[in-house]
Amino acid sequence: MIIQAKQTITVEPKARSFDLKAPEWYLNRELTWLEFNKRVLWEAEDERTPLLERVKFIAIVSSNLDEFFMKRIGGLKQQAGAGISELSVDGRSPRQQIAECYAVVREIEARKEMLLAQIINLLKQQGIRILPFLELSKDQQQTMREHYIRNIFPLVTPQAIDPAHPFPFISNLSLNLLTGVCHAEAEDMTLVRIKVPVSSNAPRFIQVGDELLYVALDDLIANNLDLLFPGMKIAFCELFRVTRNAITEQDEEQADDLLQMIESELRERKFAPVIRLEVAATMGKLQSGMLAAELGLSADQDIFAVDQRLAMSDLFQIAGISRPDLLDPPHHPCENPKLAGVPNIFHAIREQGAILLHHPYESFVTTVERFVKEASRDPNVQAIKMTLYRTSAGTKIIQYLIDAALNGKQVTVVVELKARFDESANITWAHRMESAGIHVTYGVVGLKTHSKVIYVVRQDYNGLRCYAHIGTGNYHAGTARLYTDLGLLTCDKKIGDELTELFNYLTTGLVPKRNYQNLLIAPHKLKTKLLEKIEREMSKHTVNSPGLIQFKMNALEDMDITAALYRAAQAGVKIDLIIRDTCRLRPGIAGLSDNVRVISIVGRFLEHSRIFYFQNGGEEEYFIGSADCMKRNLESRVEVVTPVQKSELQAVLRQILNVMLSNQRSVWEMQADGKYIQLRPKDKQIGAQETLIKLAGSCCKETKNRKLHKKAKKRYAAAGNSV
């Protein structure tokens, strides 16, 4: 069944004058983000999803919820603890938000547990078994016991909890066993905490023999406690896990050394307050209450009992089993047609003009990494400047930058030390680059540098020319295969001049308001320009030439942008929003947002690209960049959004938007109350992402055929034949 009609809220004529400051017109940021995770979980519930991909989606939701507690619930708890009573845009206090979020999380967890039980049975039918230790055969149990003794037992350290041994420190997201032991002849019981030593060398799920048979590490330890406590009775043994607050930011303005401050924050985070306690559902109330009391939590609110399996994010290991028949068809990114076979990337950009990149449909390695690689080796390149928010060990860009410095080029990298959960890695990268002679700076005090820019200064035949990559995603080879992102390679002089200004600001922090005429830079211009362009769309809207705004991004959270979109919709402008997760705007409200459609696309890739489109009375404008319409992006981060002016590239962006807005296989449509309805195609329509994979493949095939034809013509001509 295709669901076409959007839910509307009927508003009486007398109520058609809307107060756009009223909280009822704005959805809650946290609750809409949790709604996104319900959509992700549906991918695990959907029987059309390959089985191991379903396991992956369970792991993704579990990992997302861990981060949600560390970042969002942690922040709300800090506000509540500080006695902050200020209401959110949608009219909720911090305590109200926590309570409502807890209710939704418990609902998601219940769905997840029921689903995992079903999927474990389906895996069993496919020869992949995750069994309790006690269901193994006697021989298998003995084999695993011997494995445990050799490879794991030396890593296990029991910690008693008694007057001589105070309650131990419990590290964030670690798996732990709470065990009650007593001597055979005594009644006094001692509580013992055992940390489960999950690591790359001791994975959560240990393979039994050569079969696809696995037993959980915590289960293996729990069933061999006689090795830890010889001759003692085991009264109980239950699993638990804690989540700590990740919000430990200090005042940058007071810091003498930003690097030292971040290192201090990382140390503090290890000992941050606990905000969630997860326990096995079989744990007694006495034991869970004791844990809650020791950890400073409410036994009524902050304990989450789990029946199936704690730390379901560890299921990424199972999702990675090599069973192609249970996975999505393999995806091999294509080469960008404008760069394939071209010997010099700078010549290609100069001769062809701006080139649009679309990952993961097109290869990150043969485009972005190639751009930096060639810059590091090209004798005509004088300088390379770059912003770095997140990267990975699998990304070669850092090594290329080091090579460039060793080759005598001036290399400057603006490293964002405050990229959440990547602070430690970024400190390591910064030290490594500095030791190679790269100029490393840490951006502007008080602002995160979230922009994605690589800037190359090259001595061309007619003088210095600036080449740039401006993207929507991080310079991270891993996420470039999993996230959808866009990038622009350009040598446009105006953009180059403005990037020069940007890097001068980033490396000094001086003169923030610079003369940007083409790039939309946050925090000093982007928000103002977006609001102006929304107002302009209203002013140019007519019956014969209706206005149209289309945004694709991860989140719409900023109240000012949301209110402006409401006003535009009231003026008759049609608005299409492709929002991955958080969205404050409520579509389908009669008299307010009749003209607004909000959809969310969930598939094998994480939607991460940002596109801003304005019809502008027929003089269409397209922009791509690093910013979402969130208050933090627009007001407290350095973001770069670039125009895409070449008609050929605008056509590509138009195709992307049209594919997503017309698709019904992987699309969820938002209702006025913030809930989502999944669209259902009449036929076997493939999802938007699968459509884009096919389109990229067709384009690559055409390019390859043209090259083969060109080579054949050359060979034919060389043989003395006329063409």
Q: Is the dihedral of CA 325, 327, 328, 329 positive or negative?
A: negative
Closest by Cα among 213, 28, 43 to 120: 213
Q: Which helix (H) or strand (E) covers residue 415, if one does?
A: strand 410-415
Single-letter amino acid, residue 368 = V
Sign of CA dihedral 144, 147, 153, 156: negative
Say if strands 611-614 and 606-607 run parallel, antiparallel, or are unpaired.
unpaired
CB 113 within 8 A of CB 307: yes
Whether the Cβ atoms of residue 623 and residue 526 lie closer than 8 Å to each other: no
Q: Which residue has the tokens 């010997």?
A: 343
Say which residue the tokens 């990559």 belong to: 469
Distance, in Å, from the CA atom of 136 to the CA atom of 146, rounded to the nearest integer, reads 14
What is the Cα–Cα distance from 472 to 495, expressed in whole angstroms? 16
Nearest to 675 by CA among 27, 20, 21: 27
β-bridge mates for residue 214, sequence order: 130, 207
Q: Are 313 and 63 in contact (CB under 8 A)?
A: yes
Select which of 332, 347, 431, 450 is catalytic: 450
Q: Reduce the DSSP state of residue 479 to 3 states and report it.
A: helix
Active site residue 450: yes
How many Å apart are CA 312 and CA 689, to the nearest integer? 26
Rounded alpha-carbon distances, angstroms, from residue 89 to 77, 93, 560: 18, 10, 11
CA 642 vs CA 348, 499, 613: distances in Å: 20, 11, 12
Residue owning tokens 């989502």: 676
Q: Which of 474, 454, 312, 302 is nearest to 391 (CA)?
A: 474
Task: Give Cβ neighbours of residue 291 (< 8 Å, ≥ 6 apart).
Answer: 178, 240, 277, 279
Q: Rounded to whole angstroms, how far apart are CA atoms 663 and 220?
A: 47
Please report, for residues 198, 300, 402, the alpha-carbon distance to residue 193 in angstroms, rounded to integers and kept in the order given: 15, 23, 46
Q: How far apart are CA 485 and CA 347, in angstroms?
A: 24
DSSP 157: -
3-class SS of residue 310: coil
Residue whose entry in the numeric block shows the structure tokens 């055969």: 137
Q: Which helix (H) or strand (E) holds 527?
A: helix 526-540
CA distance 588 to 228: 62
Question: Residues in the chain, how many?
Answer: 723
Could you give the 3-state DSSP secondary structure of residue 203?
A: coil
Residue 187 burial (CB count, 10 A): 6
The tokens for 436 are 């190679």
Is-contact 489 419, C-beta < 8 A? no
Residues marked active site are found at 450
